[in-house]
Structure 1
């Protein structure tokens, strides 16, 4: 089944653009009507959206391996990596203890790498052979690389004073991070089209 006809690509452009617009509006709402934690703090619509998307991604990539068994070694590790990110986002709930569940998940990842080592090469090649993986990899770069670079205080101090740069820094860093998670969510949609809906239609 061809998921990349001109019509389907046009539909994607419209739907995905509306999704990105929605993410931007969430950030706008935080600027207009900040919640109790202030602008772009732990208790904000932007943070809640990041956590919700991460939860969806963890569930999706856990299920993806069951839909298509050959990529399960990779999709499970990805799901656990995203689970670590979710725990990190929720660290304000357990500020001194969040490192322990993270270490536990890292131990599980290490065990899975050891157990499935012989399958990982083929699974990785198949996973990244899919166009959907480009969305995922782009999201990783935006969230875990670009947003961190844009969050460097020394960059913002070139334009703002010590007393007032933090709000702009937080707004940009958190909105870029949300965008990255959004790209990863779009990767989940693309993988679902290939491995779930496409498979059912073919059957």
Structure 2
């Protein structure tokens, strides 16, 4: 009987096709944004920013389902939820500053992160045990790739200095914004794929005693 952590070749191929199609759809949306939304390119009202919000919203909802519906890895899923939901709030910084008050997103992020950290640290032994199992999964590999893409590479790749050096006298902020936002979009897509894999993993763990699920 396959280990509950394993993924069948058929399931791997199906998921690969789905993830490729979703990535292609996102990039097609970016193309249409550049083509038909010149006034909203890479702004809060553009496709890229709205897609980022949607990806983070879905990922956060799936983590709630994994924690409360599947009751899997409660400490790991809580920490991941806090991280992604804080990112979702951060993406709304312009709206929050406009319609609430300046710096509202920092306050809301703090109200999300601190309780999550408190409960995880309070149950740190359980968290370490859960993380030991999770760190050896495909989901964690995708999450690590998404994290590096979004929070490290996109920030470095989207620096104004880089694009000024590349474009010289032809520099325009649009190039910098496009580079950073589109790379960030792909990173969020990887994070969503990671959470989808986490949910499927939790489902396999839950059903492993039957030996019937290898999704």
TM-score, normalising length from structure 2? 0.85
Task: Report the equivalent of 2:8.
Answer: 5
Task: Report the equivalent of 1:21.
Answer: 24
Verify the 8 A CA contact 1:67 1:195 in the aligned structure 2: no
**Pair 1:184 & 2:187 matched:** no
**Pair 1:115 & 2:122 matched:** yes
Task: Report the equivalent of 1:79.
Answer: 81
Which residue, 136, 147, 157 being the options, matches 1:140? 147
Aligned residues: 202
Alignment of 1:1-203 (within 5 A): 4-34=7-37, 36=39, 38-67=40-69, 69=71, 71-95=73-97, 96=102, 97-161=104-168, 164-196=171-203, 199-200=206-207, 203=210
SS of match in other structure, 2:93: coil
Structure 1, unaligned runs of 5 or more: none
Structure 2, unaligned runs of 5 or more: 211-215
Deviations 1:147-202 (A, max 9, x none): 11101111001122467431111111111111011111111222222222673475
More displaced 10-residue stretch of structure 1: 58-67 or 179-188: 58-67
TM-score, normalising length from structure 1? 0.89
Question: Relative CO higher for 1 or 2, CA cutoff 8 Å, sep ≥ 6?
Answer: 2
CA 1:198–1:124 in structure 2 vs 1: closer, same or farther (change >3 Å)? closer
Aligned-residue Cα RMSD (Å) equals: 2.1
